[in-house]
């Protein structure tokens, strides 16, 4: 479980492009007000280094019998449980339960935490960036939660056209699958997905149509303003894999921006979009959902009173 990492990362990895270690310098935004632990969650951004020095992220297809977001493309993760010491602990536990990722910090290093995200059902989600060091890890999928596992280059989430993504043969499923297996650390075999029905996401706001509409977005009304929902194709849609969409896409865009210290070539936010902290504050002060109810039930409401309201 989480602990100290005395050996420098650079001595343990395949050749890694220097910009890829920006994660270790990152300090996330922290909420200054209390949140009930039962309304918190964490996701694991599980990275590994390809032979050309680029970072790849593991993504899964959720089981088709899940109560929520069935068959969606997702990151391993879930809600806080009793016994979890912190967000890293939650993310590691969920990654172990879903895809069999070892919890040993010497095999899987924690690089950093990212800024918290608000979900539609009132959870505060913290992304935890993990880097796979061991070359002898094989995923063990939990069939009750995960159908299959695949990878995408992390810089995929900085571009609106796949031809700009370094070293990625987009849109040819067999080549993408072969590249994923070849670029993974020794023995990390990523099984191909089975064919399942695929329903395309809505096309409102789609851009980049010259290459199969790889990237798209739609702006929706949420809380105090408009929020941009991004969507990326995976190159595996022909075999039934859904695009990376919504919260997962937003988290991976943020991870790519931090990891490569580079802005995406598309606008990350809608013109009137508030910051995540502002959206969380609005949900607590003006919403009526589970986050506000939990804060009231645990006597934390005073933490969230707007100072201006006392004047």
Helices and strands (H, E) in the chain, number of each type: 5, 11
Distances (CA, A) of 127 to 21, 86, 159, 255: 17, 12, 21, 9
pTM value > 0.95: no
Measured CA to CA, the distance from residue 249 to residue 119 in angstroms comes to: 13
CB 153 within 8 A of CB 165: yes
Distances (CA, A) of 186 to 51, 62, 136, 276: 11, 25, 6, 38
Q: What is the pLDDT of residue 276?
A: 95
Q: What is the pLDDT of residue 6?
A: 53
Q: What residues are paired with 151 via a beta bridge?
A: 58
Q: Encode 230-279 in three state secondary structure.
A: EEECCCCHHHCCCCEEHHHHHHHHHHHHHHHCCCCCCCCCCCCCCCHHHH
pLDDT, one tens digit for every residue, the chain (311 residues):
555 555 555 544 556 665 556 788 899 998 999 999 999 999 999 998 887 778 899 999 988 887 777 788 999 999 999 999 999 999 999 999 999 999 999 899 999 999 999 999 999 999 999 999 887 888 889 999 999 899 999 999 999 988 888 777 775 433 334 433 433 443 344 443 333 222 333 334 444 334 458 999 999 999 999 999 999 999 888 888 899 999 999 999 999 999 988 999 999 999 999 999 999 999 999 999 999 999 999 999 999 987 665 43
**Token pair for 192:** 């191909």
From edge to edge, which strands make up the β-sheet containing 244-245?
215-222, 225-232, 244-245
Which residue matches tokens 């499923």?
A: 173
Distances (CA, A) of 220 to 171, 217, 226, 227, 289: 28, 10, 5, 5, 18
Measuring CA to CA, which residue among 1, 109, 98, 93 is closest to residue 41? 93
CB crowding 83-93: b at 16 or more within 10 Å, else e = ebeebbbbbbb
Which residue matches tokens 């395309």?
A: 200
CB 131 within 8 A of CB 172: no
Distances (CA, A) of 22 to 82, 132, 259, 263: 32, 16, 5, 13
Q: What is the pLDDT of residue 207?
A: 42
3-class DSSP state of 13: coil
Which residue matches tokens 């595996």?
A: 236
């Amino acid at each position: 479980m989480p602990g100290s990492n005395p050996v420098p990362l650079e001595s343990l990895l395949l050749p890694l492009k220097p910009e890829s270690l920006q994660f270790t310098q990152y300090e996330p935004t922290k909420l200054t007000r209390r949140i009930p632990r039962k309304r918190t969650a964490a996701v694991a951004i599980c990275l590994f280094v390809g032979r050309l020095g680029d970072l790849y992220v593991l993504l899964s297809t959720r089981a088709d019998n899940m109560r929520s977001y069935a068959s969606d493309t997702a990151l391993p993760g879930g809600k806080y449980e009793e016994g979890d010491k912190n967000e890293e602990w939650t993310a590691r536990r969920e990654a172990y339960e879903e895809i069999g990722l070892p919890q040993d910090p010497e095999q899987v290093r924690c690089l950093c935490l990212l800024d918290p995200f608000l979900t539609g059902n009132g959870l505060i989600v913290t992304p935890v960036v993990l880097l796979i060091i061991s070359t002898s890890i094989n995923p063990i999928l939990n069939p009750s939660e995960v159908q299959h596992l695949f990878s995408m280059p992390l810089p995929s989430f900085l571009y609106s056209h796949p031809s700009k993504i370094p070293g990625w043969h987009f849109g040819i499923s067999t080549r993408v699958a072969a590249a994923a297996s070849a670029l993974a650390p020794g023995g990390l075999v990523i099984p191909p997905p089975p064919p399942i029905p695929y329903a395309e996401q809505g096309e409102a706001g789609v851009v980049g149509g010259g290459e199969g509409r790889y990237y798209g977005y739609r702006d929706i009304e949420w809380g105090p303003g408009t929020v941009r929902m991004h969507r990326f194709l995976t190159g595996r849609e022909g075999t039934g894999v859904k695009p990376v969409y919504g919260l997962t896409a937003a988290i991976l865009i943020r991870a790519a921006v931090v990891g490569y210290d580079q802005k995406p070539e598309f606008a990350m936010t809608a013109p009137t979009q508030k910051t995540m902290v502002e959206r969380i504050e609005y949900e607590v002060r003006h919403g009526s959902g589970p986050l506000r109810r939990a804060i009231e039930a645990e006597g934390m409401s005073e933490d969230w009173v707007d100072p201006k309201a006392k004047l």
